Structure 1
Amino acid sequence: MSAQHIFDFAILGSVVKYSDGTPRPPERHRRKLADWETRNNGGRLIRRQAETVVGRTTLPASITLHKGDYGKGGIIMLRVHQTFSVNTDLKFTVVERPAIGSVLVLDRPGDEAELVHLAANRTDAETWLKSHGYPNAVIREITADEVAADAVEGRAAA
């Protein structure tokens, strides 16, 4: 499916893979492999951003994936995100949806909110939120209706 379908239908917190369709190069070709991995990877969907106009420039809608955290001893030193325009030529696949009853912790209310934590339940989300500084955070539970709608739309869009 396209990035536009991910933007339109996928639930925040879904694990998404993307690919350009080319075969993986052998391990011995380190540079080719590194280039390939930038266009063939995955992450957790954490944000949707609608089309934006800046001056005379129109920025297309986009999706952002959280690809990983790097650090040591429980301290995150680097958080890696990758943003894709809905116009990208890459193909996307939802490989995992958040479980029914899991809880999204969003950094702010509204359509531009970013997922900062995915908790198993409301108690875990509230506990996590107490130890992290998000004063405008919103907690939202994943419902069966959301997961069913995402699954149906995702299959129809594929």
Structure 2
Amino acid sequence: MPANIVYDCASLGSVIRYLDSTPKPPERFRKKLAAWKSRNSTGRLVKKEPPRERPTYSSPACFTLHEGDFGQDGTVIISVRRTYSVETDLRFEIVQRPAIGSVRVLQMLGDIPELLHLAPNRESAERWLANNRYSRAYLEEVTADEVGADVIEGRAPA
């Protein structure tokens, strides 16, 4: 599916796969394989930004995928995130939506919510938030109504 469908239909916390429809090169071609992996992977949807109109420029809507954290001993050194415009040539698919009863830990950045953590339940989310202080964080539960709306409106993953 094109990127604008992910922007319109996927909820924060969904796991999204992106691909460029080229075949995977053999393992022995390390540079080609690394380039291929940069255009064929998965990530968790953490932010969706609307289009912007400024006097000097305009930008299309975009979304950000969190691909992973790297570090050691529980300390994150690098967090890998990629932002994609709805006009990108990559193809996307929704692999997994957040489960009913899971809880999103969100933070408002301006007027745009950003996913900080997806917990399996409220207790786990509150514990994570107590250990990771954010000034504007709040909790939002994934409800059956949200998941049901996705199925009824045809947004359930294939």
**Normalising to structure 2: TM-score of the pair?**
0.92
**2: CA distance between counterparts of 1:48 and 1:38?**
20
Match of 2:137 in 1: 137
Query: Could you tell me which residue of structure 1 aligns to residue 42 of structure 2?
Result: 42
How far apart are the structure 1 equivalents of 2:109 and 2:127?
19
- How far apart are the structure 2 equivalents of 1:138 and 1:153? 29
CA distance in 2, matches of 1:140, 1:155: 20
1:38 CA displacement? 1.1
Question: Which residue does 1:56 correspond to in 2?
Answer: 56
SS of 1:39 mapped into structure 2? coil
Q: Which runs of 4+ in 1 moved over 4 A?
A: none
Equivalent pair of 1:13/1:115 in contact (CA under 8 Å): yes
Q: Deviations over 1:8-65 (max 9, x none)?
A: 1111101110001111010111111111111111100000001113441111110100
Please say if residues 11 and 150 of structure 1, whose CA atoms lie closer than 8 Å, have aligned partners that are also in contact: no
Distance 2:76 2:156 in 1: 36
Q: Residue 109 of structure 1 contacts residue 137 of structure 1 at CA under 8 Å; is this kept in 2?
A: no
1:148 deviation in Å?
2.6
- Which TM-score applies when normalising by structure 1? 0.92
- State the 1:153 CA deviation: 3.0
What is the CA deviation profile of residues 77-123 of structure 1, one whole-angstrom value per residue up to 9, with x for unaligned ones?
Answer: 11000000001111111111111000000012886111001011111
| AA partner of residue 148 (structure 1) | G
User: Corresponding residue for 2:5?
Assistant: 5
Which one-letter code corresponds to 1:32 in the other structure? K
Cα distance, 1:112–1:153 mapped onto 2, change above 3 Å: farther
| Aligned residue number for residue 80 of structure 2 | 80
Q: Which residue of 2 aligns with 1:107?
A: 107
CA distance in 1, matches of 2:55, 2:140: 34
Q: Which residue in the other structure is 1:90 paired with?
A: 90
Q: Which residue type is aligned with residue 132 of structure 1?
A: N
Shift of 1:2: 1.3
Q: Which shifted more, 24-33 or 102-111?
A: 102-111
Pairs aligned (count): 157
Partners of 2:62 and 2:31 in 1: CA distance: 28
Q: Which runs of 5+ in 1 are unaligned?
A: none
Is this contact kept in 2: 1:51–1:61, CA < 8 A?
Answer: yes
